[in-house]
Amino acid sequence: MNDNDDNVDGSIGDAGRVALQQHLAALRLEHRDLDSAIDQLVKDPSHDELSARRMKRRKLLLKDQIARLERQLDPDVPA
């Protein structure tokens, strides 16, 4: 019997969960860094509006990816 056989119910194994948590932490860090970069960019009165919009779009994509991973790690179980 393999270690992979323990998860016949479709749940994430320990290694998979750790990998997802690490990826989630990296996405959160990038989101936070992007937020800081956007704040600095828009403080400059001569900032590049196109760059700001691109950064904001990337930040929204990161937020969606974070939400998806959070649901994958801790799915809502109907009562």
Cβ contact 27:62 at 8 Å: yes
Return the higher-pLDDT residue of 17 and 1.
17
What Rg value do the Cα atoms of the chain yield, rounded?
A: 18
Cβ contact 63:24 at 8 Å: no
Contacts of 27 by beta carbon, 8 Å cutoff, 6+ apart: 62, 65, 66, 69
Amino acid at 5: D
> What does pTM read for this prediction?
0.75
Per-residue pLDDT tens digits for 3-43: 444 444 456 678 889 999 999 999 999 999 999 999 999 99
Read off φ and ψ for residue 78, nearest 5 degrees: -60, 140
